[in-house]
Amino acid sequence: MADGISYIDGPRLQRCFAAGLERLIGEREFLNKINVFPVADGDTGNNMYRTALAARIAIADGDAPAGELLVRLADGALDGAQGNSGAILAQFFQGLATPLASHDRIDAPSLAAALEEAAVATRSALTTPREGTIISVIDAVARAAAKHRKSGDFARLLPAMLAAGEQALAATTGQLEELSKAGVVDAGARGFVSILEGCVEFLTNGSLRDLQPFSNDSVADFTEHAHHEHDVDLEFRYCTECMLEGADLDPARLRQELAALGNSMVIAGSKTRLRIHIHTNEPETIFDLAAAFGTVSRTKADDMLGQARTLSRVNRDVAIVTDSGADIPEAIMADFDIQMVPLRVQFGEDSHLDKLGMSPAEFRTELLRNPARPGTSQPTPGDLRRMYEFLGTHFKAVISVNLSAALSGTWQSARAAAERTSASERIRVIDSKHVSVGQGLAVVRAAELAAQGLRGAELEAAIELEMGRIKNYALVADLTNAVRSGRVKPLVKHIADWLRLTPVLTSTPAGKVGISGFILGRRNLTTRFARHVARRQQRGRRWRFAIAHGYHEEADAALLGARLQQLLPESECAWQTEIGAALGVHAGMAALVVALCECAPDATASQTPPAG
C-alpha cells in the first residue's frame, strides 16, 4: 500500500476520480435492481450512470490544477445530472469544488474542510432530507475526514473515509422502511460509496485496473421479486427536471416557490446555474415558475407511475414504447404497459411537453388564445435515450413504434437514440407510417402480439404486417393548418373553399398525407363521413377502429362510431379520444379522425391485456 501521500495534484486527482466514476458506471445495473427509494422506478443506476459519465468526460484531460479539475468535475456532473440521486451527487461535487477552486494541489486538512462544506451544501439542497439515503453516507464520510485530517496522509485518510461510508451504507437498510422491506441498501448511497471504492483502489494500488462491479447475487435475485410487488400508487407522478441559468439565483426562494407542488425536491448548483429536480403532477407549472427566475432549458418529465407499473410486470421479455404522436387513452396505455416519449409543442418561444406538460384540452385552449403559430418538434435525443436506457436495462427486447417518418423526424431521431444506448442490440425502432389513432392502433397491436408470445424477427414481421392493414381518414373542415405545414397543397384548399367541399384526408402506404375524397356541403358531415369511410372498406371483413376528435364534442365521435358499426356490422370501436397536438397542429382541431385496422382471421376482436 502506498503511504506518505501528503497532497494530491491535478493529474493524481484526475486519475483518482476517473477510477471512482468508472466504478460507479460499472454498477449501473445493480443500482437499478436495488432502487426502491424514494420511488421504486428502477432507474437510479441509469441516473447516476449519466451523471457520472458526464463528470468523467468533463475531466478527461487531467492536465490542470486540482481546483480547476474539481470545478470541471462539478460542472460536468451538474450538466449531466438526472434523477434524485444524480442531482444530489452533482450538488456534492459543487459543494466540494467551491472551497477548493483556487488550489493547485490539495492537502488532507483542506480536503476534510471542503468535505464538511460539501456535506452541508448537499443537505441544504434538499427540502426534506431523509436519513438512510446518500446524505447519511456523505455526512459519515465528512465526519471521518474531519477526524483523520491531522494525519496529513491521504493513504490513511481515504481508507478511513471509505470505512465510514461502508458502515453508514450498511445502516441504511434499517433506517428506511422501504429498504428494510426489500432487504437492500439505498441505491444512491451505494453509488456514492462505489466512487470512494474506486478512488481508494487507485490511491492504494496506483493503477486504473478494470474494477469488477459490486455484486450480491442473493440481494439481486430478491430485489427482482421485490420490484414485482411494490406499490405504484404515487402521490406525485412525474420526475421533473430542468436547468436554470441567470444572475444571482436564489435557491432558497425558488425552493419556497416550488415546495407546495411536489416532493423529493433537489436544487443543486451555484448562483448562476441550478439543476432543479422535483416529483410533481404539474411539470409545466414547475417550468413556468422557474422561468420567472432565469432562463429554463433541458426540461424533462419522466412518468414514474408508468415506469413502476412496467417494472411490476411478471413478463419482462418485451417492452413497447411510442411517442405522443399516437392518440391512445391512458387506460389502454396502462393495460398494456405502453411507455410514451413526449414530442415538444411550441407557441412562439414557449415549449411544452406534449400530453405531459400540455394536455390536448390545454392545447386547444392555447390555440384559441395565443396568437403565435403553433408547431411541434420531435422528442429530444435525451428524452428518447433515457426511455430506451430504462427499458433496455430491464427487458430482453424493446419495440419502439413511432410517428410516420414521412411526416416527422421522430422515427429517425428514435433510431439514432437507440443506436447510442448500451442496450442498442435489444431495441427495434419501427416506422408506423401513421399518426394519431392510426399510430395508436399500430402500437396497441404490437403490444397484443407481444402478449401472445411472438418474439424477435417473427414479432417485427407481424407488426409490419398489421400496420399495413391500418387505414386513416380525417374529416378536415379547414385546411389552413394542413397547407401551412406543407402536408396539403394550396390548390386543394382553394378548390375546396371555392366549391364548399369538405376534404377527407387519408394516409398513403408510404406514410404521407393523401386525399381520399370530398364531401359536398357542410350539413350532416359526421354521418356522411361514416358512409365515405365505410364505402372504402371491403364488405364481410372484420374491423377494429379508433376515433379522435378535436373541437367536436364527444357526441360527434360517438355518432361516427355508431354509424360505422351499422355500416360495417363486423366492426367494433376500440376507443374514442381527443386529437393530440401532433395531428392538431397540422389538421386543425376541427378535425374528426378515424383509423381502421382489418382484423386477421385468427386475431381476437377484443383487447387482451398482457399477462401480469
Does the pLDDT of residue 292 top 60, yes or no? yes
Digit-coded pLDDT (tens) for 328-343: 999 999 999 999 999 9
Band of the pLDDT at 361, cuts 50, 70, 90? confident
What single string gives the DSSP state of each residue in 113-151? HHHHHHHHHHHHTBSS--TTSHHHHHHHHHHHHHHTGGG
Angle between helices 83-100 and 134-147 (to 10 degrees): 30
User: What are the φ and ψ backbone dihedral angles of 594, each rounded to 5 degrees?
Assistant: -135, 140
CA 394 to chain CA mean position, Å? 15
From the list 539, 542, 563, 533, the residue with the least C-alpha distance to 605 is 542
pLDDT at 484 over 50: yes
Q: Write out pLDDT tens, residues 223-274.
A: 333 333 444 557 899 999 999 999 999 999 999 999 999 999 999 999 999 9
pLDDT classification of 493: cutoffs 50, 70, 90:
low
* pLDDT score of 221: 33
Q: How confident is the model at residue 610 (pLDDT cuts 50, 70, 90)?
A: very low
Question: 51-109: per-residue pLDDT in tens?
Answer: 999 999 999 877 889 999 999 999 999 999 999 999 999 999 999 999 999 999 999 99
Residue range 294-311: average pLDDT? 88
Kindly write down the DSSP assignment for every residue of 205-245, as one continuous string. Answer: H-S-PPPPPP--HHHHHHHHHHHHH-----SS-EEEEEEEE
User: What pLDDT shows up at residue 347?
Assistant: 84
Q: What is the mean pLDDT of residues 181-210?
A: 86
Mean pLDDT, the chain, rounded, equals: 86
Residue 47 phi, psi dihedral angles, 5° rounding = -65, -45
Q: For 551, which DSSP code?
A: S
**Spatial contact of 341 and 384, defined as CB atoms under 8 Å apart:** yes
Distance CA 349, CA 307 (A): 31
Res 611 pLDDT > 50: no
Q: State the pLDDT at residue 314.
A: 63
Q: What's the sign of the alpha-carbon dihedral 224, 228, 234, 237?
A: positive
To the nearest whole percent, how much of the chain has pLDDT over 90?
Answer: 62
Residue 372 has a pLDDT of: 81
Q: What's the average model confidence in pLDDT over 206-217?
A: 44
CA distances to 430, 473, 522 from 514, rounded to whole Å, are: 22, 10, 21
* pLDDT score for 272: 95
- Kindly state the helix (H) or strand (E) to which residue 168 belongs, with its residue range: helix 154-175
What's the pLDDT tens digit per position in 159-170? Answer: 999 999 999 999
Which pLDDT value is given to residue 214?
A: 39
What does the pLDDT read at residue 217? 38
Q: What is the structure's pLDDT at 609?
A: 43
Work out the number of other CB atoms within 10 angstroms of the CB of residue 245.
Answer: 14
What confidence tens digit (pLDDT) does each residue in 55-67 have? 999 998 778 899 9
- Which of 15-24, 304-313, 505-514 has maximum average pLDDT? 15-24
Pairing of strands 273-280, 295-303: unpaired
Which of helix, strand or coil describes residue 441?
helix
pLDDT of residue 540: 80
pLDDT in tens, 117-155: 999 999 999 988 999 999 999 999 999 999 988 878 888
Instruction: Answer yes or no: are the C-beta atoms of 341 and 321 closer than 8 Å.
Output: yes
In this predicted model, which residue has the larger pLDDT, 600 or 418?
Answer: 418
pLDDT in tens, 556-587: 899 999 999 999 988 999 999 999 888 877 76
Radius of gyration of the chain (CA): 27
- Name all contacts of 176-182 with Cβ < 8 Å and 24+ positions apart: 176/37, 176/130, 176/131, 176/132, 176/133, 178/36, 178/37, 178/40, 179/36, 179/37, 179/132, 181/36, 181/226, 182/34, 182/36, 182/222, 182/223, 182/226
% of the chain surpassing 70 pLDDT: 88
Neighbour tally for 358: CB within 10 Å: 24
Sheet hosting strand 339-341, strand order edge to edge: 339-341, 318-323, 397-402, 427-431
Rounded to whole angstroms, how far apart are CA atoms 115 and 95? 8
CA distance to 101, 107, 111, per residue, from 9 (Å):
13, 9, 12
pLDDT of residue 576: 94
Q: How far apart are CA 187 and CA 69, in angstroms?
A: 27
Q: Which residue has the higher pLDDT, 332 or 365?
A: 332
Tell me the CB-side half-sphere exposure of residue 150, using CA atoms within 13 A.
1
- What is the structure's pLDDT at 34? 93
Element (H, E) at 273: strand 273-280
Q: Which one is predicted more confidently, 306 or 146?
A: 146
